[in-house]
């Protein structure tokens, strides 16, 4: 199987990209590659200190980088709405929306609106963000939404009868039985 490298990235010059979870890991590397290739990288952040540090590291490594930070807490749908409103007010297009942020095996907790934290951040927050930015995405030629996930996700399953984990206090691993994922 051929290896895809930085050189294979199509020219994103002049394109605007939002990357959630861009202060570290895959999100940071994604923002770095896009900025290095000439895209404007918008780092959506929950922690101002970590976002400033990430933006400073990007600017130090890529002096001509166009990098900006905007506050976003995916565990709070009001924050998602405020982020989208501000972004739409400041930008006339959105070429790439890279949904990378996420939590995994977090202590039992809920989002501001009362959803189980992992489902709320990893899925509902990103879904709401995409919906709020959809007018810009559909008005931008060749815009893309990229959802980043871990292979660990293939080991889980959602119990749709207990999405909020109200009856069961812990996650139960899923297993493949006769070609179908089942809990337990």
pLDDT tens, residue by residue, 4-30 = 888 888 889 999 999 999 999 999 999
134 and 181 both lie in a single domain: no
Residue 67 lies in a domain: yes
pLDDT in tens, 49-97: 999 999 999 999 999 999 999 999 999 999 999 999 999 999 999 999 9
118 and 30 both lie in a single domain: yes
Q: Rounded CA gap, 49 and 45, in Å? A: 9
- At residue 161, the pLDDT reads 79
52 and 129 both lie in a single domain: yes
Range of the domain at 178: 156-184
Q: Rounded CA gap, 71 and 78, in Å? A: 12
Locate 179 and state its tokens.
């070609």
**63 neighbors 90 (Cβ within 8 angstroms):** no
142 and 160 both lie in a single domain: no
142 and 163 both lie in a single domain: no
Beta bridge partners of 120: none
143 and 160 both lie in a single domain: no
Q: CATH code at 39? A: 3.40.50.720
Angle between helices 25-36 and 48-61 (to 10 degrees): 40
- What total of structural domains would you count in the chain? 2
- At residue 174, the pLDDT reads 55
Beta bridge partners of 16: 40
pLDDT band, very low/low/confident/very high, at 40 (cuts 50, 70, 90): very high
pTM for the structure as a whole: 0.83
Q: Rounded CA gap, 132 and 34, in Å? A: 23
Q: Above 80 in pLDDT, residue 170?
A: no
30 and 121 both lie in a single domain: yes
135 and 85 both lie in a single domain: yes
């Amino acid at each position: 199987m051929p290896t895809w490298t930085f050189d294979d990235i199509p020219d994103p010059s002049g394109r605007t990209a939002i990357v959630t979870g861009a202060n570290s890991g895959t999100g940071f590397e994604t923002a770095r590659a896009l900025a290095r290739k000439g895209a404007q990288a918008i780092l959506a952040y929950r922690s101002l200190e970590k976002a400033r540090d990430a933006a400073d590291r990007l600017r130090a490594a890529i002096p001509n980088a166009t990098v900006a930070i905007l506050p976003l807490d995916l565990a709070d749908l009001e924050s998602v709405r405020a982020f989208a409103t501000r972004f739409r007010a400041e930008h006339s297009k959105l070429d790439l929306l890279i949904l990378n942020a996420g939590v995994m095996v977090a202590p039992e907790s809920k989002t501001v609106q009362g959803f189980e934290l992992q489902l709320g951040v990893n899925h509902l927050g990103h879904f709401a963000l995409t919906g709020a930015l959809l007018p810009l995405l559909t008005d931008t030629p060749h815009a893309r939404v990229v959802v980043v996930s871990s292979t660990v996700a293939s080991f889980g399953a959602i119990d749709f009868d207990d999405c909020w984990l109200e009856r069961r206090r812990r996650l139960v691993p899923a297993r493949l039985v006769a070609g179908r994922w089942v809990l337990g």
